[in-house]
Amino acid sequence: MVLILAETQKGKFKKTSLEAVTYGDKTAQLLGMESVALVLGSASGLEELGKYGATKVYHVPNQSLDNFDSQVYAAVISEAARQVGAKVIIFSHSALGKSTAGRVAVRMNAGSVSGVNALPTVDGGAFRVKKGVFSGKAFAEYELKSDVKVLSLMGNSIPVAGGGEPAPVEELNLDVPPARVTVKKLERVEGITPLPEAELVVSAGRGMKGPEHWNIIEELAEVMGATTACSRPVADTGWRPHHEHVGQTGIAIRPNLYIAIGISGAIQHLAGVNNSKTIVVINKDPEAPFFKAADYGVVGDLFDVVPRLTKAMKQFKAE
Partner 1 sequence: MKLLVCVSKTPETTAKIAFTNNNAEFDSSGVQYIMNPYDEWYALVRALELKEALGGSVTIINVGPAANETIIRKGLAIGADEAVRIDAEPHSALYVAQQIAEYAKGEQFDIVFLGKESIDYNGSEVGPMVAELLGLPFISHATKLEMEGDIALIEADIDGGDAQLEVKAPFVVSAAKGLAEQRIPNMRGIMMAKRKPLAVKPPVAMEDLSVAVHFTLPPEKGDVKLIDPENMEELVRLLHEEAKVI
Ligand X SMILES: Cc1cc2nc3c(=O)[nH]c(=O)nc-3n(C[C@H](O)[C@H](O)[C@H](O)COP(=O)(O)OP(=O)(O)OC[C@H]3O[C@@H](n4cnc5c(N)ncnc54)[C@H](O)[C@@H]3O)c2cc1C
- 79 lines the binding site for partner 1 (CB under 8 A): no
CB closer to partner 1 out of 55 and 152 = 152
**Contact region for ligand X (CB under 6 A) — 16-24, 136-144, 162-170, 244-252?**
244-252
- 44 contact, one of ligand X, partner 1, none, CB 5-8 Å limit per kind: none
What x-and-dash track marks residues 109-148 binding partner 1 by CB under 8 A? xxxxxxx------------x--xxxxxxxxxxxxxxxx--
Nearest CA-CA partner of 257 in 283, 232, 237, 282: 282
SS3 252: coil
Interface with partner 1 includes 265 (CB under 8 A)?
no
- Nearest distance, CB of residue 27 and partner 1, angstroms: 16
- What's the CA dihedral at 78, 83, 86, 87 to 10 degrees? 90
- Is residue 24 near ligand X by the rule CB under 6 A? no
Neighbours of 305 (CB within 10 A): 18
181 binds, among ligand X, partner 1, none (CB under 5 to 8 A by kind): partner 1
Among 223, 288, 294, 313, binds ligand X (CB under 6 A): 288
Cα distances (angstroms) measured from residue 130 to each of 88, 108, 170: 15, 21, 33
Give the one residue of 45, 99, 161, 303 binding partner 1; rule: CB under 8 A: 99
User: 50 vs 265, which CB is nearer to ligand X?
Assistant: 265
* Distance of alpha carbon 205 from alpha carbon 223, whole angstroms: 20
Using CA atoms, how far residue 289 sits from 6, 200, 231, 270, 301, in Å, is 40, 22, 14, 10, 16
Q: Which stretch binds ligand X (CB under 6 A): 38-46, 68-76, 163-171, 256-264?
A: 256-264
Strand (E) or helix (H) holding 170: strand 169-171
Return d(Cα 212, Cα 208) in angstroms, integer.
9
- Residues of this chain that interact with ligand X (CB under 6 A) are 205-207, 231-234, 247-250, 262-264, 266, 268-269, 272, 283-285, 288, 301-303
